[in-house]
Amino acid sequence: MTVFASADEIKAALGQEVGPSRWFTLDQQRINDFGRLSEDEQWIHTDPERAASGPFGITVAHGYLTLSLVSPIVMEIFQVENLHSAINYGMNKVRFPAPVAAGSRVRGTAVIGACEPVGDALQIILTVSITAEDATRPACVAEFLMRVVADSPQPVP
């Protein structure tokens, strides 16, 4: 966990990588559960028999399942002290450069890309990379926007 006490500390760390996070296992049950919840039960994700003759030879995790790990990864590896609130403000860019085979473990890192005031908040942009164990390319790269407000009763705009 990398902890920052101020905007100045974050700005001083621009370009720095934080992490890695712990490992997350994307087993077939988790993939099936995500498919059911997201209503994306395409065979490439949920049918091991059919997927065996598909393009990857195995079922693969949904890209959006991998993307859903951005929040827990960031919460685990990046912290700003003395916050009133922190919100996920969105994403600027998301890519899925490599598939994640069922049963794989993934973990994430983030590079601090920007830190700018926005009203009463501080907007922090982190480029989060999620990579499967022993992979040469990341499975997901997402530019994540977070807005934080220091200890005060004022809400984030």
- Rounded average pLDDT over 51-61: 98
pLDDT given for residue 83 in this prediction: 82
Q: What is the pLDDT of residues 73-84, one digit of tens each?
A: 999 999 999 888
- Rounded average pLDDT over 141-153: 86
CATH class of this structure's domain 2-150: alpha beta
Calculate the average pLDDT of the chain: 94
Q: What is the pLDDT of residues 83-142, one digit of tens each?
A: 888 999 999 999 999 999 999 999 999 999 999 999 989 999 999 999 999 999 999 999
Confidence of residue 151 (pLDDT cuts 50, 70, 90): confident
35 has a pLDDT exceeding 90: yes
Going from N- to C-terminal start, the domains of the chain cover: 2-150
Could you write out the three-class secondary structure of the chain?
A: CEEECCHHHHHHCCCCEECCCCCEEECHHHHHHHHHHHCCCCHHHHCHHHHCCCCCCCCECCHHHHHCCHHHHHHHHEEECCEEEEEEEEEEEEECCCCCECCEEEEEEEEEEEEEEECCEEEEEEEEEEEECCCCCCCEEEEEEEEEEECCCCCCC
Q: What's the pTM value of the predicted model, to 2 decimals?
A: 0.92
pLDDT given for residue 2 in this prediction: 95
